[in-house]
Structure 1
Amino acid sequence: MIKKSITIICILFSFCGFSQEFLTKEIKSDFLETTRNIKIYLPKGYEKDSLTNYPLAVVFDAEYLFDAYVGNAALFAAKDKAPKQIVVGISMEKTRVEDTYFDLNTGNFTKSNVAFYDFVKDEVIFYMETNYRTSPFISLIGEGTSANLVSHYLKENKPFINSYICINPVFSDYIGNQFQSYNLLKFTKEDNTFYFYSNNSTSFSNNKQIKISEFQKGLSTFKPKNFHVINDTIVTASSISAMSEAIPRALTKMFEIYAPITKEEFEKNIKNLSPTDAIAYLENKYVEIEFLFGSNTGLREQDIYAIEKIVIEKENGDQLKEFGKMILKLYPSSPIGDYYMGRYYEAGKQHKKALKYYKVGYGKMDPSDPNADKFYENILRIGGM
């Protein structure tokens, strides 16, 4: 209870700190034949940075889900666990039945469902991409019957949604047949990455738990490399608690590749790699971050140090040169790449080249940096030879 309270306090604090970044806009919809208000959150620094693009999150049920999602998104970004996001919320308090309540007898969309589906696809997303600096990575977030609506976007012949987050879903009885008709294998042909999150909960009725469990079991058999299925079960007595827990759990998985290398990631994916493969893994991680999220984070030093031991200790350190080149390519302002290049040439007794890289690296350092003196010792050592 204490941990949950602290989490909620942090989210509320984060939300309040970013309150100046909220906008309200009107969209005149041809599909809905009316005007709808949308709420937009722009991350801190958006106005000052005219070059960066941001992933777009579209949140249904904005009257209660928008603030919760924004709070988590801001907190994850502040902790470097996810890129900053642009979030747009669609309020459905007065229109939820028309927008998302499907035909119970068939599981099919009603005419109103189709109109809302197209409103989001062709008007809301188009408006956001036209007026704001969004990256190609798009998430849809819905709860209850809105989560069922989110899942229907999987049927698009050309997938344009990267992340489908279905919280406390109220799926149709025909959800299994519907998913089979979506031809999920089409995702394997895309040079992209996709995520599908759904949660079960002990707070649900027995029938609902069984339905979601059977659905998740069937979906877990689908395992293409670029389509990540996240079947979650949240142990709680409250559906509200399940909703509040589902958002950060979904974000953790959705932006797993963005976050710095964790101990779990190292043990699972990196530990047993050769130096060449470890270097390639790190380079690919940052190439994918920029491709997916439009974020050029610059190579994190902690990720460099995560594979340093593999490069230095395996194969007699012969890959130090390639390691240095990779760092200079992704993180040119850092002296670390120059250090590894210098170390490689020093080990090979090529002292002039080693001295050159040590000097270049030292020139990139702030004199007040506590490591500057240690770095300069390399220059003195090689210069005295």
Structure 2
Amino acid sequence: MKNFYNLLIFSFIALNIQAQAIYKTIDSYKLEGERELKIQLPRNYDPEDKRTYPLIIVLDGDYLFEPVAGNIDYQAYWEDIPDCIVVGIKQGNTREDDFFYDDESFFPAHDGAAFYEFMAAELLPFIEDNYKASDFRIIVGHDLGANFINYYLFKDVPLFRSYIALSPDLAPEMMNRLKQRLSVLNRETFYYMATADADVKSLRTSIIKNDSIIKTIDNDKLFYKFDDFEDANHYSLVGRGIPKALNEIFAFYKPINGKEYTEQLLTSESTPYDYLIKKYEDIEYFYGFEKKLIENDIRAIAAACKSKDDLESLEKLSKLVKKEFPESMLSAYYLGMYHEKEGNIKKALQRYKSGLLLEPSQFIDKEVLLEKIYDMQEEMDN
């Protein structure tokens, strides 16, 4: 087990070699001074590209930025989640002032109000002016910061679409206010909250109660997930909660896995091709950006076409692949598969041969094409 954790730590270090943090300083009128930021941009980030990326704001960036940024970089590398821009706000010397709320209204006051306004009026515009950030925003907080992120829900138009509250130190009245606000959300919003068996007792008690309240909310626009970790404390739960939260937030984005293939794709009343199109349309609707077609999903849809004997879907899929990957062996392989399935062996052979001079993909290379070519030639000779 120790070797496993060492390997996991090494993996994060190795991946972050290519995803180093950028340190920036923003001059804030609201905070009457400068504030330091840590920023991680996606790999191969191109400021000239039209593509935009989800924005993740991390409070307590002094210690919370690295575990968030590391998880983002790792999961995005394997295409489980999209590439994201991660921004951590350093608050080591100011956190109690930044998260201050009034003793009577229990809303941000004094320095807390200034920090609240800093986020909307200065930080977000600064990031959007300088980086390719999309409108899909996530905010992450721990204890006092996890309470503070809720205040952004109470704006007429909430600033964020996803909230990750790790062991929140909830202000009085926050439970009731959260229930009221989450009940009337009119846009899809993700809310994640976590505690642990060895969390601070007073926090754990209020978090468990808050969870029981949120679970009673009937609002199909709210996507809520709660975790109560075993063998974790107030600090170690952070390392377990972050990847779980990201998995929930980007559940619609994930590649088609075995469970989705068996329980949803094969049982869907839609054709496999229509299932694929809707999946990618839903991703664009939920997250506000277009996902590039990936080979994993192509393979899954092709397998479903074969399983359902849906030649029309396979033809549409092959044309889509040719459009999206004209220089890749993928285009030749799936066009060949379609012609093979329809019984036109001569045309399938031509398609497979045409791919030999194209670029290999993750799963399709010359050996795969040559094997198909030999199969077609053997079938024509028989």
Question: Do both proteins adopt the same fold according to a TM-score greater than 0.5, normalized to the shorter chain?
Answer: yes
The Cα offsets for residues 94-149 of structure 1, whole Å up to 9 and x where unpaired, read as 21111113235543222322221111112111100001111222111111111111
The Cα offsets for residues 222-262 of structure 1, whole Å up to 9 and x where unpaired, read as 35455321111111242221112111221222223333222
**Taking structure 1 as the reference length, what is the TM-score of the superposition?**
0.84
For 1:138, the equivalent position in structure 2 comes to 137
The Cα offsets for residues 37-88 of structure 1, whole Å up to 9 and x where unpaired, read as 2222223322587444222111110111112212222222223222222211
For 1:53, the equivalent position in structure 2 comes to 52
For 2:315, the equivalent position in structure 1 comes to 321
Report SS of the residue matched to 2:43.
Answer: coil
Closer/same/farther in 2, CA of residues 5 and 218 from structure 1, 3 Å limit: farther
Structure 1 unaligned segments of length 5 or more: list them.
none
Residue 166 of structure 1, CA deviation: 0.9
For 2:305, the equivalent position in structure 1 comes to 311
Separation (CA, whole Å) in 2 of partners of 1:213 and 1:200: 8
**Pair 1:238 & 2:237 matched:** no
8 Å CA contact 2:273–2:314 kept in 1: the answer is no
For 1:373, the equivalent position in structure 2 comes to 370
Match of 1:264 among 259, 262, 282: 259
Residue 331 of structure 1, CA deviation: 4.3
Separation (CA, whole Å) in 1 of partners of 2:234 and 2:325: 45
Structure 2 unaligned segments of length 5 or more: list them.
none
AA aligned opposite 1:198: M
Residue 364 of structure 1, CA deviation: 3.8
AA aligned opposite 1:313: S
**What is the Cα-based RMSD across aligned positions, in Å?**
3.2
Report SS of the residue matched to 1:108.
Answer: coil
The 5 Å alignment of 1:158-307 reads 158-182=157-181, 184-187=183-186, 190=187, 193-222=188-217, 224-274=219-269, 276-289=270-283, 292=287, 294=289, 296-300=291-295, 302-307=296-301
AA aligned opposite 1:246: G
The 5 Å alignment of 1:91-102 reads 91-102=90-101
The 5 Å alignment of 1:324-363 reads 324-336=318-330, 339-345=333-339, 348=342
For 1:30, the equivalent position in structure 2 comes to 29
Closer/same/farther in 2, CA of residues 244 and 365 from structure 1, 3 Å limit: closer
8 Å CA contact 1:354–1:382 kept in 2: the answer is no
Q: Report the number of matched residues.
A: 377
For 1:88, the equivalent position in structure 2 comes to 87
Separation (CA, whole Å) in 2 of partners of 1:234 and 1:56: 27
Separation (CA, whole Å) in 2 of partners of 1:211 and 1:166: 13
8 Å CA contact 1:140–1:163 kept in 2: the answer is yes
Single out whichever of 127-136 and 171-180 deviates more from structure 2: 171-180
Separation (CA, whole Å) in 2 of partners of 1:131 and 1:171: 34
8 Å CA contact 1:141–1:147 kept in 2: the answer is yes
8 Å CA contact 1:58–1:141 kept in 2: the answer is yes
Closer/same/farther in 2, CA of residues 56 and 348 from structure 1, 3 Å limit: closer
Separation (CA, whole Å) in 2 of partners of 1:347 and 1:112: 68
Q: Which has the higher contact order (CA 8 A, sep 6+)?
A: 1
Report SS of the residue matched to 2:138.
Answer: strand
**Pair 1:77 & 2:72 matched:** no
Separation (CA, whole Å) in 2 of partners of 1:90 and 1:211: 27
Residue 343 of structure 1, CA deviation: 4.6
The Cα offsets for residues 205-226 of structure 1, whole Å up to 9 and x where unpaired, read as 4443232122112222335455
Closer/same/farther in 2, CA of residues 100 and 48 from structure 1, 3 Å limit: closer
**Taking structure 2 as the reference length, what is the TM-score of the superposition?**
0.84
